[in-house]
Amino acid sequence: MKIEEQVATLMQGTEYGDETLKQAMEDELLERLAKAEKVGRPLRVYAGFDPRTSDLHIGHTIPMNKLRQFQDMGHEVVFMIGTYTSLIGDPSDKDKLRPQLSADEVAENAKTYAEQAFRILDKTKTEVRYNSEWLSELSFGDLIHLASNFTVQQFMRRENFRKRWDEGDPVYLHETFYSIMQGYDAHILKADVQVGGTDQLFNIVTAGRKLMSALGDRPNIGVILGLLPGTDGEVKMSKSLGNHIPLNTDASDMFGKVMSVPDKAMGKYMRLATRWTSSEIAKREADVESGALHPRDAKMQIAEEITAFYYDAQAAEDAREAFVRVFQQGDMPEEMPSYSLNAGQSVLDVLVGAKLVKSKSEARRLVEQNGVRLDGETLEDANAAFPGPGVLQVGKRRFVRVEA
């Protein structure tokens, strides 16, 4: 790729809320890529991930996808696990205080993070770091020195802090440490580029660049990505909201969940969750606009591309074929046994009662493996109340019509 094409690809999916700022970051990236090519030194690029939960969904992986793009262009990538910043919790997208985790909880969650990331990143070319390495060594005097570069007003201008202040909700002093800690991460890692979502704009572009300059570094470039909406197509993907697409699921479930996303969100999914270049995306959008490509077929291409990225091409093709058979061609048994749902029954109760499983342990295992669906929707909690009537499917071939 020519440098201009690299910049177009690397800036794909970015959002800054300010075109002047976006252009400034793009210009800096172009200049630094040109210099890196001239002197033969790859850029050093990182993104930080706080292990506040053990399971990732594809919304978490959007910055990882961008890291992989840099990696494929020959640059150094650092996957940083925020074992120390997690003790505070990033307040960027929260209107209330995040619950603080213990060091043991963070350590337990961190165990699986790198391995999940290697489904996207090249393990042999990825440097994994933990910010407890350096943040735990800072003295109180060090923190005073770092904090002296910021004013209280700068933090209180942040929308979420301002909202809490105006509504009389507390803004805790330790929450302001988060941005300082993240800026110090960039300094220690000597980063040329930091990747993050729009909820990280203040941390990366305001606090991070300011602190790096104060410590004598050249400020890193913020590649700020839009946030992937969940399956509702409206708000940021979140496990707590139930609109997430888990990373640890099967290919058919991932394909089906992408297909359930409203058409209006497909542009973001193409730009954030696929490996397609900006020109390939523009071509698809133009074909949909002209009628040359049906929106349903465009979405199936997106679902297959995303599934192939996290699994492989064959798994994605199989998932597409299964989806077409079941949901487009209605390829399920015309005759199937029925089961009368009783009030208060759990998913586990129905699976056992309908004789779809031989034991409760098998039922739990199938639910944990995302192998149980009701009208195409994956049931994720064996102990939850059964949602209601519909076609209950276990695996690919076992069906029962659950009736009220």
CA 78: distance to chain centroid?
17
- Confidence band, pLDDT 50/70/90 cuts, at residue 90: low
* 312-371 pLDDT per residue, tens: 999 999 999 888 877 665 566 566 788 999 989 999 999 999 999 888 888 998 898 888
Q: Is 205 found in the same domain as 64?
A: yes
pLDDT score recorded for residue 331: 61
If one counts the domains in the chain, the total is 3
Rounded CA-CA distance 337/160 in Å is: 53
Instruction: Check residue 334 and give its pLDDT.
Output: 60
166 and 83, same domain (yes or no): yes
User: What average pLDDT does this structure show over 113-124?
Assistant: 86
For residue 186, name the pLDDT band (cuts at 50, 70, 90). Answer: very high
Per-residue model confidence (pLDDT) at position 92: 54
User: Per the structure block, which two tokens stand in for 271?
Assistant: 């730009």
Same domain, 311 and 377: no
**Domain's final residue, options 299, 328, 357:** 328
| Window from 17-21, 123-127, 232-236, 281-285 with minimum mean pLDDT | 232-236
DSSP three-state, residue 224: strand
Question: Rounded to an integer, what distance in angstroms lies between the CA atom of residue 386 and that of residue 374?
Answer: 10
Shared domain check, 149 and 287? no
CATH code of residue 294: 1.10.240.10
Q: Could you tell me if 341 and 403 are in contact, meaning their C-beta atoms sit under 8 angstroms apart?
A: yes
Q: What is the pLDDT of residue 244?
A: 87
CATH number assigned to the domain comprising residue 389: 3.10.290.10
Residue ending a domain, choose from 270, 295, 328? 328
CATH number of the domain at 142, please.
Answer: 3.40.50.620
Domain housing 362: 338-403
Residue 88 lies in a domain: yes
Question: What pLDDT is recorded for position 352?
Answer: 92
* Domain-located, residue 89: yes
Q: How many C-beta neighbours within 10 Å does residue 245 have? A: 24
Q: Quickly state the pLDDT bin for 99 (edges 50, 70, 90).
A: low
pLDDT value at residue 332: 65
293-307 pLDDT, tens per residue?
A: 888 899 999 999 999
Percent of the chain with pLDDT over 70: 94
Over range 276-292, report the average pLDDT.
Answer: 91
Backbone angles phi, psi at 13, to 5 degrees: 85, 5
d(CA 369, CA 3) in angstroms, rounded, equals 43
- Kindly calculate the radius of gyration of the chain based on its CA atoms and give it in whole angstroms: 23
Q: Among 225, 259, 285, where does a domain finish?
A: 225
Would you say residue 230 lies in a domain?
no
* Owner of token pair 């099967």: 250
